[in-house]
Structure 1
Amino acid sequence: MFDQPDLTHWHRDVPTLGASVVTLGAFDGVHSGHQALISGTVKRARALGVPSVVCTFDPPPKVFFGRATQLCPLAAKLARISALGPDHVVVFSFDEALRALSPAAFMARLALLGPRELRVGGDFRFGAKQEGNVSLLARRFDVHVQPPVRCAAGEVVSSTRIRGLLEQGLTAAAATLLRPGLNPETSA
């Protein structure tokens, strides 16, 4: 499944690493906010001399729960993530088993990566009933929260916003926020 022609290592289960810098998220669409988070993770890992790891979910949790439509299929998401240069990508199958996993058990899985830092968006939630949050992660790991990325109009770039633009028929505006290498300060 993960036959990308690059140097990124793909995993369906968490590998054991001695040290790393990790980012976590649904990354649906890999929009400019996601790109900033992933690129920052790769840059920080290189500065520390450790592997960079992107952990994501298939399908995205909101899609699993029927609260949203998926912005792009897994293969496209992986290609977009890979283009940002992480050393490893872990794809968690978002299913009933993962949904039921306690926040403590999820953090124990993450600990296998040996994270020197975890980098997330401020609204990241995890574990059964979404009981885990950034504050809980920070009790166990060194957590860095990515500030929201805003477009030129000052609005936060998010998958929810992109879905809204698509529902309104504003495909060009949505595409701008999804564009690789986007400078969101000069876009819709």
Structure 2
Amino acid sequence: MRVFRGFDALPHFTRPAVTVGSYDGVHLGHRALIERLVAEARARGGESIVVTFDPHPRVTLGRAEGLRLLTTPEEKAALLEGLGVDNLIVIPFDRTFSALSGREFVERYLVGRLGAEVLVAGYNHRFGHDRCHCDALPADSLKIVQVGECVVDGHHVSSTVIRRLLDAGDITEAERLLGHPLKINPQPKDS
């Protein structure tokens, strides 16, 4: 897997299928989405691209109090590579970047810079400071694939749910929803 930092000096990508998110934990819900991403890319003879952020957006936006990151950037990259992702783009998430609207982000960066042909997103994913839903994105220039909710034995799988399980001391259940063993990571610092 190739790893890039930011949108500068990127190569030309072949028929890219793209997904965007923090992907903290690369849990079972993320895995379902990544598997769909890789399948979409392979079906069209293209490349899969995961766009993620560092630091976590909640840190930049001053909402990181109590945030327990489930993976370091290096662990996240290793987990994504293990799922067959071709390219990882890590966006330095700062206040300027956080001010982009969802449509502007998709048009300028995903379509404009990456040449995205397919966008794979979770059922509840929102883009940009205006929390733009996939339904409001330009479907004429981009095929949009939404992946449904992941539920395991009645548990909605999300990074937030896993963090709550860890806070309650239920490491076994947290690891089951992660789909891999947990490593203890340091808490992020507010910026």
Per the normalisation by structure 2, the TM-score is 0.82
CA offsets 1:21-80 (integer angstroms, 9 cap, x no match): 111111010001101111111122111101111111112223443253211111111111
Match of 1:11 in 2: 4
Matches within 5 A, 1:29-178: 29-64=25-60, 65-66=63-64, 68-107=67-106, 108-111=108-111, 112-127=113-128, 129-139=129-139, 140-151=141-152, 153-178=153-178
Runs of 4 or more, structure 1, over 4 Å off, are none
Q: Distance in 1 between matches of 2:124 and 2:22?
A: 11
The answer (yes or no) to whether the contact 1:22–1:53 under 8 Å persists in 2 is yes
Moved more, 76-85 or 100-109: 100-109
User: What secondary structure is seen at the aligned counterpart in 1 of 2:80?
Assistant: helix
Q: Distance in 1 between matches of 2:80 and 2:99?
A: 27
Structure 1 residue 138: Cα displacement: 4.8
User: What secondary structure is seen at the aligned counterpart in 2 of 1:115?
Assistant: coil
- Which residue type is aligned with residue 147 of structure 1? G
**Count, aligned residues:** 171
Structure 1 residue 131: Cα displacement: 3.3
The answer (yes or no) to whether the contact 2:102–2:126 under 8 Å persists in 1 is no
Q: Unpaired runs of 5+ in structure 1?
A: 1-7, 181-188
Q: Distance in 2 between matches of 1:78 and 1:106?
A: 22
Structure 2 residue aligned with 1:24, among 20, 24, 27? 20
Q: Check 1:122–1:78 CA distance in 2 against 1; reply closer, same or farther (3 A cut).
A: same
Q: Distance in 1 between matches of 2:68 and 2:138?
A: 31
Structure 1 residue 18: Cα displacement: 4.6
Identity of aligned residues (%): 36
User: What secondary structure is seen at the aligned counterpart in 2 of 1:37?
Assistant: helix
Q: Check 1:130–1:80 CA distance in 2 against 1; reply closer, same or farther (3 A cut).
A: farther
User: What secondary structure is seen at the aligned counterpart in 2 of 1:143?
Assistant: strand
CA offsets 1:73-109 (integer angstroms, 9 cap, x no match): 1111111111111111111111112112233331111
Q: Unpaired runs of 5+ in structure 2?
A: 181-191
Q: Distance in 1 between matches of 2:130 and 2:22?
A: 13
Structure with the larger helix share? 1
Q: Distance in 2 between matches of 1:113 and 1:135?
A: 21
